[in-house]
Amino acid sequence: MQWGRILTAMVTPFTAEGKLDIDGARKLAVHLVEHGSDGLVVAGTTGESPALTHEEKIELFRAVKEAVGDRAAVIAGTGSNSTAASIELSREAAALGVDGLMLVVPYYNRPSQEGLYRHFEAIAAATSLPIILYNIPSRTGRNMEAATTLRLAAIKNIVAVKEASGDLDQATAIIRQAPADFLLYSGDDSLTLPLMAVGGYGIISVAAHVAGEKMQAMVSAFTAGDTRKAAALHRELFPLFKGLFITSNPVPVKEALNMLGLPAGPVRLPLVGASKEEKEKIAAALRETGLL
């Protein structure tokens, strides 16, 4: 399983009327792969998965796979807070030929650690595709503890975790004890380099929408042993990492893409577009990073 170190959590482009922009999704997918992304995660948090219908997700998986499938990994976001629904969507995504699945910790229903284990175990048993677990307690209301991730890492087709807990100790505990071929991806752009320093593999990124090549340069410098250059690039990108999270993701990154003339369009309710002040801060972050 070689998906690369920079996977972009792709936004879902919408038309001005809020309809799914499939042509825009194809164009954006190609642009991202040509500008630093090793692979794409489709219909994840940044893709506004809670606001997409089942049918729209299938349409997106198909379109992105057709657009870049021979050049980059396409990972389908098929997780939800219903185990049965996650299994159904995972099977349909597999039939479309996606390269892997990303499964978020079930949100709102706050399962125990044993419940988390059984949820992911059941989905893994229903597919042969490789799976990335996704831990983001700020959105789900439940942290998947290192011990649970390590139990799941023993399942053959659970191959990675996107760790967005912001907890370097938790990430270190996973890296320290997981099988050698189990990968930990950062779920926070600004923690990419710190996590790689303790053995993390890469990033499932928001910032790579607009700075994929610079992020590739940072990661490549680190893996080549040039930590000074990697740190300098991290510092250069830092205003962007922070500027893209001044309000709920993906509001700022969609605004940034629109500013750069790339397909994104509006967000869907219950999210609302960036305010005038927020737009100014996003534009300033793009300028400071030399992108605008």
Which pLDDT score is estimated for 1? 66
Active-site residue (options: 134, 185, 201, 254): 134
pLDDT in tens, 14-65: 999 999 999 999 999 999 999 999 999 999 999 999 999 999 999 999 999 9
β 39-42/6-9 pair status: parallel
Determine whether 162 is an active site residue.
yes
Number of Cβ atoms within 10 Å of the Cβ of 66: 14
20-36 in b/e form (b: 16+ CB < 10 A) is bbbebbbebbebbbebb
pLDDT in tens, 121-178: 999 999 999 999 999 999 999 999 999 999 999 999 999 999 999 999 999 999 999 9
Residue by residue, DSSP assigns 179-198 as: -TT-EEEESSGGGHHHHHHT
Tell me if the pTM is above 0.95. Answer: yes
Domain boundaries, the chain: 6-226
pLDDT in tens, 64-109: 999 998 899 999 999 999 999 999 999 999 999 999 999 999 999 9
- Measure the CA–CA gap between 10 and 47, rounded to whole angstroms: 6
Active-site residue (options: 162, 214, 254, 281): 162
Domain spanning 6-226: which CATH class is it, in words? alpha beta
| Strand ranges (E), the chain | 6-9, 39-42, 73-77, 100-104, 131-135, 158-163, 183-186, 202-205
Cβ partners under 8 Å of residue 91, min gap 6: 126, 127
Number of Cβ atoms within 10 Å of the Cβ of 55: 10
